[in-house]
Amino acid sequence: MNIHIISILISKDLSLFFRKRAIIILTFIALIFYLVLYFVMPNSVDENLKIGLYSPVSLPVFTQIDEEGLEISPVESEESLKEAVLDGSYVVGISIPADVAEKLSSNQKPTVNLYFTPDAPQEIKDAMEVVVRELAYMQTGQPLAFDVSEEILGQDMTGTLIPPRDRLRPLLAIFIIMMEILGLSNLISEEIERRTAQALLVTPTTVTDIFIAKSISGIGLAFVQAVLIMTIIGGMNRQPLIILVSLLLGAALATGVSFLISARARDFMSVLAWSFPILIILIIPSFTVMFPGAITGWVKVIPSYYLVDTVHRSANFGSGWGDVWVNLLILFGFTAAIFWAGIYILRRKFQ
Amino acid sequence: MSIRRMGVLLSKEFLYGSRNYILVFSIVGPIIISIIVSLIFGTWLAEKPRLGILDEGKSQLVTMFDDLNSIDNLEYNTISDMKGAVEIGAVDIGIVIPSGFDNSVIQGERTEIKAFIWGESMAKSRTIIGVTIANTVRELTGQKSPIEIETITLGDKASIPWNDRLLPFIVLMTVFLGGLMLPSTSIATEKERRTIRALMVTPTSIEDIFLAKGILGFILSFFMGILILVLNKAFGTEPILLIIVLALGAVMAAELGMLLGVYVKDFATIFTIWKSAGIILFAPAIIYLFPQIPEWIGKIFPTYYVTQPIVELSQKGGGWADIATNTFILIAIDVALIFILLFTLRKKQYTVTGE
């Protein structure tokens, strides 16, 4: 192993990568795009149903109910209520008629108006009807004939739910890292097809030097971009060291996959053909974070699951080494196996 | 320019292009993405509470829950299955309805429902599920609602569900994936393999080559656009107008693809451009996703003049009067692009062919 040769090879790879100004500018634009995507997503979770209530008479259950998820605000007039609903202040406006008490006491059914915006989904309208009807049952003192015993599974996150944009963090991290598979695979497959790798081997450069140089270039390119994005989107605010380690392992995993692909691919077209199915598979685990429950336990056979899960738990919940060490160990195992397999196959191709 | 030579080149593109990965991707990709995007955004943003049910007896509640629109229900056979589903967030709350529950509540005997709550479920989801269960049990026991409810929708704006908002994005992506990527990658491949130089020693002109590839892109883009509209049942009341707009959009995509082919030397650069500069193409569709963003911003981007007529015709029930101005602008853009293409082709002939 010759450090001088390795550094020359790395600078050659990087200069090849950076030679095309258009690619640099556009890669930069891509990073901006990811950031825009992140920042346009909602930065908070609206956990409560904001309800406006116009009631000319006092209905204690409606105004004093202490139910999680319900936020009922009194409004002075029916007109104000309609305006507030239209400007989006409330998901529904409840208008109680002035004769509600008389009608209820005389066993008549008063009509309660519910105001919605035009874009309110039908399920919300139905849900609000159910909520108001239940409040009316409670107001008229009709008890329920059953009890509910509750058990919270997992950490109760009420009031501290993760906003949709933060659920994107693992997806962005993995997307940036895995997209580098394309660039690196193309770089290596070109060297194989143009036989520049074989040309290098007639110099004092060894196969080991080439692999170390390629590994450093590949890991470096993927890692730096991922760290940059994660820093900007606040993914490094909690447990930065764990995030750095997991991104580094992820970058090494992507590099190992690139070695495997470039051993098979002949040109950029075949790099794409091989890369896309692999990319799709590797990106699947990030959907477990974005859409909890959408994917079941089988997702754990995909190596990138351990990267996604670690980034999600550390960046969004602040999980420490004690919580994620198993993940990191498995990710390391997968990375080592894929990296070794990639080097083994590519070495045979070089020779 | 020779029509016959263009026809020969086009038939070659059809014959050998079918082996092209991009061609396959342009056909399969939009269909898969259409399905995935609809599923993802439809599900993610709907926030409909999900209730898991384990019925230990034969409770009528299960069928009553099935009829409700305010929540989604999933039934489980074992408690471990349901707890597992709650733990991963497949349902917000999982309830166990004990055997004999219906008889107990009807006879007024106190009984109990066991509820497992997902820690990350939203408070409003818990509330909606809670009151829905309470309401349904009251219905089961024959309690009469003390009030009548009248639902009133305010304003005169039409409601646009998320799936519909996403349609322009999917259509644009479909039209431009085939229309732009296919000609540009095909030209870049010919440049890389130097077959374009071989063609230039025949009577074939550079315009023949480019237009043959552009026509292939147009055909693919046009028919895929129609297919996506059919799949999304979005043909509106003016299908002929919609097809004309799609055709004009496909022309724009193919022209941009050919222009890209003039300047770009290799496949990697095209892919990088698609990866990043795609936002310029899709900006009007992204703006349409968020009605809070002023519509005039979208007008800056040329694809707005494809998006607006498609939205107007497929979703708002509009007619020619509603799209005329923008369609004329789209035609003007298409004409301008073809002149720019021919001009740059002549100016950059050396770059393109290496001759």
Quick one: tokens of B150? 């009248």
Answer yes or no: do A148 and B112 touch at CB < 8 A: yes
In contact, A315 and A239? CB cutoff 8 Å: yes
In contact, A304 and A219? CB cutoff 8 Å: no
In contact, B79 and B114? CB cutoff 8 Å: no
The pLDDT value given to residue A246: 94
The pLDDT value given to residue A107: 79
Q: Which of A79-93, A114-128, A325-339 has the lowest mean pLDDT?
A: A114-128
The residue in chain B having the minimum alpha-carbon distance to the alpha carbon of residue A131 is: B131
Instruction: List, for residues B21-63, the tens digit of each pLDDT value.
Output: 677 777 777 777 776 666 555 555 556 889 999 999 888 989 9
Q: Over range B280-298, report the average pLDDT.
A: 79
Say which residue the tokens 């963090």 belong to.
Answer: A169
Q: Which of A11-15, A22-26, A311-315 has the lowest mean pLDDT?
A: A22-26
Closest CA to A325 of A219, A228, A239, A237: A239
Buried b (16+ CB within 10 A) or exposed e, A14-38: eeebeebeebeebbebbbebbeebb
Q: Give B46→chain A minimum CA distance, Å.
A: 8
Task: In whole angstroms, give the CA distance from residue A333 to residue A335.
Answer: 5
3-state secondary structure of A118: coil
Which residues touch B264 (CB under 8 Å, ≥6 apart)? B184, B187, B188, B270, B273
Most confident by average pLDDT, A33-37, A283-287, B14-18, B59-63: B59-63
The pLDDT value given to residue B94: 93
Higher pLDDT among residues B233 and B350, named by residue: B233
Strand ranges, E, within chain B: 50-55, 72-75, 93-97, 111-118, 148-153
Res. A274: pLDDT tops 90: no
Q: Which of A169-178, A253-262, B85-94 has the lowest mean pLDDT?
A: A169-178
Higher pLDDT among residues B200 and B37, named by residue: B200
Give the Cβ contact number of residue A41 at 10 Å: 13
DSSP letter assigned to residue B78: S
Length of chain A: 351
Q: Is A65 exposed, middle or buried (CB count within 10 Å of its CB: 0-12, 13-18, 19+)?
A: middle
Q: Calculate the alpha carbon distances from A142 to A104, A107, A320, B102, B146 in Å.
A: 13, 13, 49, 18, 10
Task: In whole angstroms, give the CA distance from residue A135 to residue B155.
Answer: 27
Nearest CB to A161: which of B122, B127, B290? B122
Quick one: tokens of B25? 């991707």
Q: What percent of chain A has pLDDT over 70?
A: 95
Task: In whole angstroms, give the CA distance from residue A151 to residue A153.
Answer: 6
Interface test with B, best of A37, A75, A268 (most B CBs within 10 A): A268
Give the Cβ contact number of residue A340 at 10 Å: 12
Task: In whole angstroms, give the CA distance from residue B294 to residue B287.
Answer: 8
The pLDDT value given to residue A20: 61
Task: In whole angstroms, give the CA distance from residue A235 to residue A170.
Answer: 9
Element (H, E) at B198: helix B195-200
Answer yes or no: do A126 and B141 touch at CB < 8 A: no
Q: What does the mean pLDDT of chain A come to?
A: 83
Task: In whole angstroms, give the CA distance from residue B21 to residue A272.
Answer: 8
Give the Cβ contact number of residue A297 at 10 Å: 9
Task: In whole angstroms, give the CA distance from residue A70 to residue B272.
Answer: 48
Quick one: tokens of A342? 């990639």
Q: Over range A239-260, report the average pLDDT.
A: 91
Element (H, E) at A149: strand A146-153
In contact, B93 and B116? CB cutoff 8 Å: yes
Strand bridging mode A111-116 / A92-95: antiparallel
Interface test with A, best of B28, B45, B149 (most A CBs within 10 A): B149
In contact, A24 and A18? CB cutoff 8 Å: yes
Res. B275: pLDDT tops 80: no
Instruction: Give residue A4's identity as a one-letter amino acid code.
Output: H
Give the Cβ contact number of residue B4 at 10 Å: 8
The pLDDT value given to residue A310: 93
B48 DSSP β-pair partners: none
Q: What does the radius of gyration of chain B's CA atoms come to, in whole angstroms?
A: 28
Sign of CA dihedral B168, B170, B173, B175: negative
Res. A109: pLDDT tops 70: yes
The pLDDT value given to residue A295: 61
Answer yes or no: do B125 and A293 touch at CB < 8 A: no
3-state secondary structure of B235: coil
Closest CA to A284 of A206, A193, A122, A175: A175
The pLDDT value given to residue B25: 73
Q: Over range B211-220, report the average pLDDT.
A: 88
Q: Taking CB atoms and an 8 Å cutoff, what residues of chain B touch A179? A: 275
Res. B148: pLDDT tops 70: yes
The pLDDT value given to residue A337: 94
B114 touches chain A (CB under 8 A): yes
ipTM over 0.85: no
B188 touches chain A (CB under 8 A): no
The pLDDT value given to residue B16: 67
pTM for the model stands at: 0.66
The pLDDT value given to residue B40: 57
Answer yes or no: do A133 and B126 touch at CB < 8 A: no
**Residues 287-316, chain B, touching A (beta carbon < 8 A):** 290
Interface test with B, best of A114, A137, A317 (most B CBs within 10 A): A137
Instruction: Give residue B64's identity as a one-letter amino acid code.
Output: M
